[in-house]
Structure formats: structure tokens, C-alpha cells
Amino acid sequence: MSANKLLLRSPHSQIMAPEPSTRRKYPRIRVPKGMRVGWKSVSQTGTSRAENMGLGGVYLISNNPPSKGSSIELILDLSTGQVRARAIVRTVNSGKGMGVQFVQMKPEDRAKLNQFLSQQLASQEAVAAGAGTNSLPVSWKLVVSSRREEAAQIRFEQELKQLIELTGKSTYYQLLGVTSESPAFEVKKSYRALARKFHPDGHMGNRELNASLKNLMALITEAYKTLVDEKKRAAYDKRLAASGAFTMRREKARAEDSLEEWFKRANECLRAKNFVGSIVWLRKCAEAAPDRAPYHAMLARSLATVPQYANEAIEHFQKAIELDPWQELVYVQFAELLSAMALPARACAIYSKLLKINPAHAIARERLAALESAQKATTLRH
């Protein structure tokens, strides 16, 4: 297949499928040697070497893969950026690896994956056409070169955007990527690395970025001159202290320590099956960090064991799903609580939501069918 069969017209564009129906819908290609993919199932977490990949899925080398049909979360660090996906284990080769099918991916992640595959295909076909790019026709050299330049430019612009965002809300230490304890030579080293990468003179051909690069370098230089000079640095630290920046960081660190301690105590209660005790500590966690889904999910599970707390459990299950809609176990536990509360219609709605995320979820399919069947039987009796 030639590189021009990779359609890049939109974030949803896909590799053209081969005509024979016996082949994969989306063909896979070899990935760079040593490329690893992080994954997490309900009961396992691991990092595996990828063997081949396509828009439809990836084959991972693993001595202890999850069982066939398992739902897993993937993190792929590609040359075009990090990609996250929900997936299903479709094939398992015991002791060797697993074939994984992507079932859900954000459009921007799909675009990154498509771009990565396009680059790899162009590079591999170039090498297959001869011993490296030196023996290729000029047209192939241009294809491979343009793909590499495009990926490098995307990474550079992403880094530039992140640094510009930091300039408006960070300290000089954060801007230069050092700490308040870093000595002057580390400050100088970091500054030089940033200057090499972002100095406008190195990007004369990209006029659109020129103004942003000049402003960024002015701020980076100001930060460097301040932190490398002992007197200026001391005065700057005093201003930070007066503005509360250091105090806020210390308070945040103390809050994190408290959260860890409360969470540790909650887990100790759970191991002892002291659910009432765990509720006390998990409530503290959820109140201190209301934007963290795991605290709400664990609190909901503990509350669900105490009948008088059932309505509160519903609230925290809903909050956990709102914050992180990809945790399949939370849907199952939520639906189980609703079924126990004799709310089958609401339980059916939760199982249906789960099946939209993972159509292959066996438990959700089975229980939804059973609930719908029971509801029909009840309707017929009446």
C-alpha cells in the first residue's frame, strides 16, 4: 500500500481497508522497535512492547495478558503526541501476547494516530524500496522528509504553547523548569536549552511564530538574569513570599499529605470490611478533592453497603461518572445498587450507558437483558 492511501482529510480519516473481506478492516503496520504501550484492565496494570499497530488496534507482547473480552485503557506515546484509547482484548496468545481492538478514541487522538501511522508507512515503504532513503527516487525522499518535518513542527508548537501559557501564571522557577533549591549552574543550563530551542533566530522561516518567540525569549531571559544573580534572586524570593506563592505551595503540599493519610486509613478500614469507618475518611477525601473521581467512586461503594446512605451513594456514583466516564466497574456497581433499591428502569439506563462505551461488556449485556425481560414479564402479568 502506498503512502497516498492514508487519508488525512479530517480527525476521523482512516487507512483505506484492503478489498479482500478476509483481511482486517484497518491493516496494521510494524512499529519502531522497542515501542511500549501502557495499559490497565480492571484487575491488571502493565506496560507491553507493541509489535504492530493500525487504526483498528494494536498487538502487544505480554507474558500475562488479560483474558479475552477484557476491557482495557491504553496510553500510547507516539512521535505525534500521547494518545489515549478504550479497547477490548480480542485475541490472546497465552504467554506471548494479545490482539487489542480500539473501541473509543477522541477525534484529536485519532488524528495523532493517523498521522503517526502515515509517517511509519512512508518510512517503511521507503526503506523497502531500497537500502535507506539515499537510494530512493526524489519523490519518496520528499514524502519521508515532509512527514518527519511535520511531526517535529507539531511537537515544537505544542511545547511553545505550553510555555506561553506558563508565562501568565507561573513563577520564574516554573518557567525555566527548575526549583527554588536549584543552584545557578542548573538555572544556566536550563536557560541555554530553552534558548537553543525557542530563540527567534532559529525559526526565521516561520513568521507566524516570530512575535510569540520574541516575547517568550524576553521573559525567559528576564527569569534567567533574575535567578542566576544571588541578590536579584533573594529579592525575587521575598516578593514571592509576600505574594503568598510559597505559602500556597506549602499549603497545597500539606493538603496532599492529609489526603494520602485519609486515603490510607480508608483503605485500612476497607481491608477490615469496616465500611462505616471507611465512609468517614472517604468523605474527607471527597470534600478536600471534589474533582477526583476515585474518591467519589470509593465513597459511593462504601455508602451503598449501608441502606440509610443509599441516596447519598447515588449522588457520589453520579459524580464519579461525571468526572471520569470511562470507569466501567463504577457503572456496574451503580446499577447493582439501583437494582437492590428496586429501581430497575434506572439500572437499565446505567447498563445502557456502559454498553455505549463498551458494546462488548458481557456483564452489562447479560444484566440489561435480564432486567428488561423481568420488566416485560411484570407488564404482561398486569
Residue 48 to residues 54, 59, 295, 347: CA-CA distances in angstroms? 16, 10, 28, 36
Task: Name the residue ranges covered by the structural domains of the chain.
Answer: 3-114, 170-243, 256-381
CATH class, 170-243 region: mainly alpha
**In this predicted model, what pLDDT tens digit does every residue of 159-171 receive, in sequence order?**
777 777 766 667 8
Q: CA 107 → CA 13, 14, 57, 193, distances in Å?
A: 10, 11, 15, 33
At 38, list the grid cell.
501502557
pLDDT digits (tens, 9 = 90+) for 29-52: 888 887 888 888 888 888 888 988
pLDDT in tens, 349-363: 999 988 888 888 888
pLDDT bracket for residue 2 (50, 70, 90) = very low
In Å, how far are 16, 57, 121, 127 from 27, measured between CA atoms? 8, 9, 11, 19
Question: What per-residue confidence (pLDDT) applies to 367?
Answer: 92
Domain 3-114 shares a fold with domain 256-381? no
| Residue 325 to residue 334: CA distance in whole angstroms | 13
CA distance 44 to 134: 45
Fold for the domain defined by 256-381: 1.25.40
CATH fourth-level superfamily of 3-114: predicted glycosyltransferase like domains (2.40.10.220)
Terminal alpha carbon distance of the chain = 62
Q: The C-alpha cell of 5 is what?
A: 492511501
What is the helix (H) or strand (E) element at residue 49, kind and residue range? Answer: strand 45-53
Residue 135 in this model has a pLDDT that exceeds 50: no
- 311 vs 173 pLDDT, higher one: 311
Tens-place pLDDT, residues 49-94: 898 888 889 999 988 888 888 889 999 888 888 889 999 999 998 7
